[in-house]
Structure 1
Amino acid sequence: MDNDKFNELLKILFNNISDIKSKGFEFSEISVNEVFHSINNVYSEMYKFVLLYNDYIFSTHSYGVDIKFSMIEVHTLTYIEDNPGITSTELVEYWHKSKSSISQILKRLEEHKLIRKEASVKNKRFKLLYVTEKGKKVNEEHRKFDIVDVSKTLNSLQEKVSKDDISSFFKVINAYNEVILKDFEINN
């Protein structure tokens, strides 16, 4: 979609949002189809991005070992190293994933001897998570990989948009995360 078309769709969307707010969500004077298609056309780019990024997250990479890991697996490893003694329940809360999803990730990391579980001194039912020496090596390679990968991505983006645009994108993403997290809190 070209910039002019995108900006026109945003204009329609923002104009109708202010009308909807002032009229209490009454659509009598607003074309439902026009608003819906404006929203859908603008958001379709975000949907594509989310789906592509989701595929990227679950694609695998080698991080200095013969085994390939997904982004969520290796970032979980990093989070455990940065928070030694964390529990799986805390990971569920941090990642906003199901217990079974986190359990599968931890099982894979443990099978490859990247993490170990220790019973809590206070409550033997709780398992505290720690990164092994092998896990630390994988994590070090992961950090190097991410530095190079993010640098390449930012350089590629700067060929298409300005640094200010990139900064604005991250600002919007942070605000959007807050909106989504608030929605999770309200609806869960």
Structure 2
Amino acid sequence: MNIKKFGVLLSLSTIFGMNVIATTALAKVSPSITFRKAIASGGGCVVTDQLLGSDGRSLSLLLDKFNAKEGARQRCILRIDTIIPSGFIVQNVEILYQGSVDVKPLSRGTTLSRSYIFNGGALGGITSARPIVTQFKSSNLLFQEQDDVFVAAASCGGQGQLGINMIAQSSSGSEIFVDSADLSAGDVLLRIDLAPC
């Protein structure tokens, strides 16, 4: 075999081998997502703190003033800018709501409604999702409601924004808290699943 041809084949096989190793390594890496400061609007809640999870892909939001009592209705609008690492695509977003409900006898209970908006390349694909409503007919000192939202991302990596719109509604004789006044009971935890592009 000609040394020149052998050198070219060796170079191509080396590049191909390195590419396979890099792709395999990329698939095994657990990338982190950059979460910017969450913004609450609409006056129905305040983000008192946000804590990044140890996996780098989850974020816990501690809320204040997001509760409804005795027939009141409270709205909370959250916007979270994110940066998805290059080479990865968003697949699913899990959102866990924790709070407490007190429902007195003869009360019609409370509801927690939520809907989602995804904007920007790495989170774009679903402009909005149908509202999800949970109705509580009895007291629960620590409820946990999880929504699993499939995202058809418009691009591989990049910046995007997750919007969460929540409404807490109570009836006479009931109250609902999605509020970190009691740290063990009130927060919103979101986790984003990624896959290599």
Q: TM range, normalised to the smaller chain?
A: under 0.3
Larger strand share, 1 or 2: 2
TM-score normalized with structure 2 length? 0.24
TM-score normalized with structure 1 length? 0.25
